Every structure is written in C-alpha cells, then in structure tokens.
Structure 1
Amino acid sequence: MKQLRSLLRSLSVVNPDIESCAVISTDGLIIATALDKEVDPHRFGAMCASLLALAERAEQEVNRGRLRQALVEGADGCVLLVQAGGKAVLATSAKASINLGRVFLDARRAPAKAAELMAA
C-alpha cells in the first residue's frame, strides 16, 4: 500500500491543481488515500462508491457500454472517478482552474498502475 499512496501523492506533484485523490473499492472501502485533512476518507469513499454505482446504472440505461469515468463539476472544482481495475476506482478532486484535458490524461494513467499494484 505504500507504493499506492506514493502513486497518489505523485499525481498532485505532477499536476498541482489536483488537491486530493484516493483509491476506493467499489463497495466504498478506502484502499489508499492522499486526501486533504478536511476530507473524511470514509464518507468520501462511501459517496464516491454511490456516485460510481449511479453512473454505471445510467450508462447501462442508455447502452453506452462499460463506464470508464465519471465527472462531477462544481463551482469550485471537480471530482473525477476513473475505474482502476474491476473492483476499485481512482477518485480525484481538483481545483476549478484545472485543465480538464490534463487531469483526464493524468487520471487515466494512474488507475492502470494502481490496479497493477493492488494485484501484486
């Protein structure tokens, strides 16, 4: 899990607009985090799992295939959920000023590595 936490911390080093990130099981259990101190990891994990489940159902309802990512955009930033293997998701919180194209790119690379580390 040390390597997984290191991977999460490296995301905010590579892209300073990324404020927090976590790898969460699809059941909402925290696997590894690099969250702001103000964020309750267990609550965040549960909410992300719920959001992921709803996004997957919506995707199925309109026959768009397997969900790859979900984006929630607010006035002060966004939360991006990206599948990390079959049983986990990478949740990334970013500032409103972030270049979404870059966060998509950075957040797509990390889940593959996270899935690899979890399988080891």
Structure 2
Amino acid sequence: MREQMLKSVLSDLNGTSADVEASAVISTDGLTIASMLSVGMDEDRVGAMSAAMLSLGDRTAAELSRGELEQVMVKGENGYILLIHAGRDAVLTVIARKEAKLGLVFLDAKRAAANISELL
C-alpha cells in the first residue's frame, strides 16, 4: 500500500516535467523503497550510490559549516542527478535531462520530497 502511494508520487514527478527521466525513493542505508527508473538502470546501484552521495554531502555541509544539507546535485555531460532528503530516513533521487529547466525540476522535486516525507 505505502509503496503504491510512493510510486504514485514518483509517477506524478516524472509525468509533471518532461525534464525528469527517472526517480526513486531510497533509504539512507541504500535500499530502494520505490522507483520509477528507466530501462537499463540498476535499482540496487542507484540506491547504493544515492545513499553514499547523500552521506558525503551531509558530512561536507557539516564540516564546512554550511548548515543542514538541502540537496546534492551532480552535473554530467548527459544530464543531472539531484538528491534531496525526504524525511529523516530517506532520499529522493531525481535524474534529469541535460536540457532540463533546473528551477522547475528543483521545485517539483522539493514538493515530491515533502509528500514522500509525509508518507514515510
């Protein structure tokens, strides 16, 4: 039931913006809770990397006195990966196209992360 509701939030996120190619809800220990990933994306690998990046981001923000971590963004030549806390124990991973309008992606992702946080 909860997984279906989470998938619904991810489906809305992926459907609202043509810029979002895939998304997933990952536990902070790297387990995939729900996902709407593209064919060929390994769910376990996405989960492990998301948890590792978020953990590193948390530590970096704390060590460099930047306060509470809000998001981690990775930009590659083929697009973006955005990680946002979705409550205390989960992270929302959003994979976006390189042409993405980042402001809208951030807004939609933040809204989705808040909805996910409520469900968890």
Q: TM-score range by the shorter chain?
A: over 0.9
Stretches of 4+ moved more than 6 A in 1?
none
Q: What is the CA RMSD across the aligned residues, in angstroms?
A: 0.6
1:97 — aligned with what?
99
2:47 — aligned with what?
45
Correspondence list, 1:46-65, <5 A? 46-65=48-67
1:78 — aligned with what?
80
Deviation by residue 1:52-71 (Cα, 9 ceiling, x = unmatched): 11111111111111111110
Deviation by residue 1:55-99 (Cα, 9 ceiling, x = unmatched): 111111111111111100001100000010000000000000000
For 1:10 and 1:18, the matched residues in 2 are separated by 10
For 2:5 and 2:23, the matched residues in 1 are separated by 14
For 1:9 and 1:94, the matched residues in 2 are separated by 14
Q: State the TM-score, normalizing by the size of structure 2.
A: 0.96
For 2:40 and 2:119, the matched residues in 1 are separated by 27
TM-superposed CA distance for 1:37, in Å, is: 1.4
Residue identity matched to 1:48? S
For 1:72 and 1:25, the matched residues in 2 are separated by 19
Residue identity matched to 1:16? A
Q: State the TM-score, normalizing by the size of structure 1.
A: 0.96
Gaps of 5+ in 2: none
Residue identity matched to 2:73? L
Question: How many residue pairs get matched?
Answer: 118
Identity of aligned residues (%): 46
